[in-house]
Amino acid sequence: MLTVRVGKTKMARRPNFSAKLLLKYMLVLVSAAALLTLLLQNYSIPFKDELRRALSGDFQKSVPTSRAPSKAGPCDVVRDCPEDHFSFFVRSGAANVVAPKICLQNKLVLGTVLNNAGVGINIVIINGKTGDVVKTAHFDMYSGDVKPLVELLKSIETGAVVLMASYDEPATKLNEEARKLIAELGSVSVKSLGFRDNWVFVGGKGASVHSNFEKYLKNDNAKNKYENWPELIEIQGCIPKYPE
């Protein structure tokens, strides 16, 4: 005998997420999103910015001159100049202990490590058109002879750029002829240069103007930094190429 039950049919129950469970998942997602944002701010963004600046060259443009021994090596500075200029860095000696240094295009051309610096007056001559180093020399102005210095100064050709730096004692043997020849390169301070003074200078043959690239520090026992010597001095800048 067939029997039919009349009434509500019992159906399978669908799973439901409770409000508490849903809230828990939302809190986890929000926390994860916050952590991800923090990581991106601390790592990704600066990295992308630095990479973009490095690839586009903006980093060098934004810091034309910086003291960065690890990058510049013995020249201590990194300097960018316009294409039609040469960069330079000149530092005097420190007392009778640390020799001077002269750099061109961020490369050392005179200094202790090259074994071409010495007491007295240190000189680098470069071709004003190409920037090539023509000569490096140093002249002992305490126990040496001024004649070789005079001969070198007379031999400098028009258009050459001359960079000079003192070390220990630059003036005892410096006579009027030598001072005049250096003054013709654009120096003003050479006329007053005295015993153990510090001096750095960049000038040019045929410029017929006073150079803006010169520093001079008088030997003064009341102000000296290194007992009987004044502190070291330095200059840096860009030299325009001599026109053809």
Complete DSSP assignment for 23-91: HHHHHHHHHHHHHHHHHIIIIIHHHHHHHHHHHHTHHHHH-SEEE-HHHHGGG-EEE---TTEEEEEEE
In this prediction, residue 21 carries a pLDDT of: 65
The pTM is what?
A: 0.71
User: How do residues 192-218 score in pLDDT, each as one tens digit?
Assistant: 999 999 999 999 998 777 889 999 999
Based on its alpha-carbon atoms, the radius of gyration of the chain, rounded to whole angstroms, reads 35
- pLDDT of 125 higher than 70: yes
User: How do residues 51-106 score in pLDDT, each as one tens digit?
Assistant: 223 222 332 333 345 554 444 467 876 678 888 889 999 999 999 999 999 999 98
In this prediction, residue 73 carries a pLDDT of: 63
- pLDDT of 159 higher than 60: yes
Lowest average pLDDT, out of 62-66, 113-117, 156-160, 226-230, goes to 62-66
In this prediction, residue 79 carries a pLDDT of: 72
Indicate the helix (H) or strand (E) that contains 152.
Answer: helix 147-155
Highest averaged pLDDT of the listed ranges 1-5, 56-60, 185-189: 185-189
